Structure 1
């Protein structure tokens, strides 16, 4: 969610007044805002910035507000409280949408009043977050659990500067419409329109989010197989979402919550996957997988081309209303393979095991759980996590995911949806008391025109869907899986891998 560490504070940002905002996170994330010179800022030559020619607006900067990710800290929630807690966490995330609409329609007021954003946005946000955190604490205690120490401190968000390309002030650009200040997404019709934070909707990506893959050094390393390695593979063919099954739900993170993801997902495999699907629904559903013993659900955020196109969700929640704009791209290939362990045999995955790899909020959370990779065909010995690739002619964009391959032996999910599974170490060994399971590896290939970068701006970029405050950073890419193999097919998967066979 592309930076690899927290951004250092800018001295420029401390001299400027927050004047308008594009995005605000509720559950955990950023506010991207435009900032202008204070009416009383002194210029370099000693003149008052509020007088004469110094009254002109400074070049727009992008600032951020970082809110703690509450869900990531809740590793021990009583089972009876999980549904309620998940719903409250989804409410925190929904605050981003509400705040975005508020900020996008009050830019004039923010420009006139240096305290407007703090008084009208930040303080109410803190109060509202505090109320939700208190409800989470009470629900956990009512069910015999205990909230983590310092949870109340997670109500407050902090302002941070955000580095990136500088954009021309309003009215001083290239003559194109930079997007109406009263519209949440701005004008989406121009091919080369970028607002203060880039991208077709004004919230990314930026030119700095792209890298020429031919200039990246090979960086892929694989552990050596030990004497007890399980070297087989099982490939399942489930298509590329020709059925056009999309939704903005997330049954793992936000069960029972419509638009819980705040971005659009592609689905292959199970065809009954939405926020309200039960395990029984999943088990009885149709599947796009050729092997009908695999009714697992595989889903990931869509990739879009921001070329001015408006797709079917341009005016919908999770789509254009939340900054996810442009043409939805269908993968040409979606390869799904299960592999073994470099150090041991694997055991069967439990039915309905849930795994998330990558972090949709990695831009604000940091990179600890960032795990998706970007590359180009012909160059897959070099992988990027915090940049989108610029591929040469004849080469295609590749997204790849290697899921956690170790399981705690007991749970199909955990409160933060992470601690019941783990990655093996560099040698391929699982943590103590964890068991090696078939490792899901996915590879998505897209035929998309390479964006061009001119004068520090990217034209016709592609970007992964995400939470609005994550600014469409490549590091926020992620993938989700729920195991709905029947027992016989899962046993075949295990046997093939442990025997060193190649099976489908």
Structure 2
């Protein structure tokens, strides 16, 4: 299987980015990245959550929404697919939301919200079997009810251009001239049946030992949410609408057109090719 995949993947790469027959010894290993992305600015704020509190406006803590410009407590997949999106590419009608960040009790929004769709976390032969995210799939990552850093090991905070600071489940102190960053990886093993579940998590799973568990056998692209905030300094001034930094979480309501999602999975994820917002190398 490994030999066959090497031929198939290699052929795909040669068609797009030919590799010299003899690379210089100093060139180092070839980095293979399976990726496409959506760059979605902040759209609006509401105390709504159409996944956790559907049809209950005001029932949630404050959320900052990205992508679809119409998301509210009553949003359905049809609402999203028939509305405008501020994403690049605009064909991504999905909605993404996070708890609002407050600095000195003033709301602060990210300068950018980038959503990477990745093929990683499982073996290459399983990446080659990645299935498109189904229309209407809802995924929640992180723990809004975390009571300490150990309750949320998925969400990480760090500083842009300050790698020496390191990352942490809770807020970090960023030096002047840098930006506070939040990274969050969503689960990407699906049960293959349910677009949501009563706890909004059990229909999805993270990989185990570089493979999806038998209860969640379908590999889908891994969503990675990256937020960069124009703030630095003492983190005691920061809070999320949900609480401390370790309560960071993200919600995703998939409204990519099915054909476009399938094309990007086929062209970028399965052959392990790095694509841009247009879904092309």
Q: Is this a same-fold pair by TM over 0.5?
A: yes
1:349 to 113, 119, 133: 133
Aligned length: 240
Q: Following the alignment from structure 2 to structure 1, what is the Cα–Cα distance between the partners of residues 174 and 192?
A: 42
Q: Following the alignment from structure 1 to structure 2, what is the Cα–Cα distance between the partners of residues 398 and 259?
A: 27
1:300 to 67, 79, 98: 98
Structure 1: gaps spanning 5 or more residues: 1-226, 307-325, 453-457, 467-471
Q: Is the 1:370–1:476 Cα contact (8 Å) retained in structure 2? A: no
Q: Is the 2:39–2:112 Cα contact (8 Å) retained in structure 1? A: no
2:78 matches 1:274: no
Q: Per-residue deviation at 1:395?
A: 2.0
Residue in 2 aligned with 1:359?
Answer: 143
> Which SS does the other structure have where 1:388 is aligned?
coil
Distance 1:277 1:350, change over 3 A: same
Q: Per-residue deviation at 1:408?
A: 0.5
Q: Is the 2:162–2:175 Cα contact (8 Å) retained in structure 1? A: no
Q: Per-residue deviation at 1:440?
A: 0.4
2:167 matches 1:383: yes
Per-residue CA shift, 1:265-320, capped at 9, x if unaligned?
111111221111222212211111122321010110111111xxxxxxxxxxxxxx
Q: Per-residue deviation at 1:371?
A: 2.1
Q: Per-residue deviation at 1:350?
A: 0.9
Residue in 1 aligned with 2:26?
Answer: none
Q: Is the 1:231–1:498 Cα contact (8 Å) retained in structure 2? A: no
Distance 1:402 1:380, change over 3 A: farther
Q: Is the 1:360–1:477 Cα contact (8 Å) retained in structure 2? A: yes
Residue in 2 aligned with 1:237?
Answer: 39
Residue in 2 aligned with 1:373?
Answer: 156
After TM superposition, list the pairs within 5 Å mapping 1:351-500 onto structure 2: 351-363=135-147, 367-368=150-151, 370-380=153-163, 382-385=166-169, 387-425=170-208, 427-433=209-215, 434-451=217-234, 458=236, 461-466=237-242, 472-495=243-266, 496-500=268-272
1:331 to 110, 115, 120: 110
Per-residue CA shift, 1:123-156, capped at 9, x if unaligned?
xxxxxxxxxxxxxxxxxxxxxxxxxxxxxxxxxx
Per-residue CA shift, 1:166-190, capped at 9, x if unaligned?
xxxxxxxxxxxxxxxxxxxxxxxxx
Q: Which has the larger radius of gyration?
A: 1
Structure 2: gaps spanning 5 or more residues: 10-31
Q: Is the 2:65–2:96 Cα contact (8 Å) retained in structure 1? A: yes
Q: Is the 2:40–2:112 Cα contact (8 Å) retained in structure 1? A: no
> Which SS does the other structure have where 2:147 is aligned?
helix
Bigger helix fraction? 1
